[in-house]
Amino acid sequence: MLLSPLVALKAAYALACKPVKAFGFPRRYRLTRREGFSRILQQRAHTNSWFALHAQPNTENFSRLGVSVSKRIIPSAVQRNRIKRLIRESFRLRSKSEVARDIVIRLRKPLGKQDRVLARAVLVEMLSKALTTQ
């Protein structure tokens, strides 16, 4: 069955121009250099059983995030990436505050499937405290 040219044109336009809400994590919100990580990791960490959160005020107008998930703790790259996505998404949803901080989050022990919901709730609480206090 062939489509009429008008229908085909409308379908192509709808597919090409359909606005999609992007949930990206732009580079300016990331800590990428070793110097940035080492400077912040010298700060005292706020810890719980899964995460260690290091924070330091910065001179930017926004908060930035660094994530460290060791291969020694989580050998599978798939699992490491899943945990990093969980951390980035939690940060992205809470980083709209006026407090400008550099934050590095380290994973301290493996997260099981049954622990993810509780770990996310604990991480959200830690990030909320770090992003609201001076």
Residue 9 confidence (pLDDT) above 90: no
Delimit the domains of the chain by residue range.
27-132
- Whole-angstrom distance, CA of residue 16 vs CA of residue 42: 48
Confidence of residue 30 (pLDDT cuts 50, 70, 90): confident
> What mean pLDDT value characterizes the chain?
82
Q: Do residues 28 and 95 touch, judged by C-beta distance below 8 A?
A: no
Instruction: Pick 26 or 108 by higher pLDDT.
Output: 108
**What pLDDT sits at residue 3?**
58
Q: Model pTM? A: 0.77
Express each pLDDT in 38-47 by its tens digit: 888 888 889 9
Q: Do residues 34 and 80 touch, judged by C-beta distance below 8 A?
A: no
* Domain 27-132: CATH class, spelled out: alpha beta
Q: What is the mean pLDDT of residues 82-87?
A: 91
Structure tokens at 30: 């990331």
- Whole-angstrom distance, CA of residue 61 vs CA of residue 59: 7
Q: Which of 119, 129, 128 is nearest to 48 (CA)?
A: 119
Q: Do residues 68 and 31 touch, judged by C-beta distance below 8 A?
A: no
Residue 91 confidence (pLDDT) above 60: yes
**What pLDDT sits at residue 5?**
66
Q: How many CB atoms lie within 10 A of CB 48?
A: 13
Confidence of residue 76 (pLDDT cuts 50, 70, 90): very high
Coarse DSSP helix, strand, coil percentages of the chain, rounded to the nearest 5 percent: 45, 15, 35
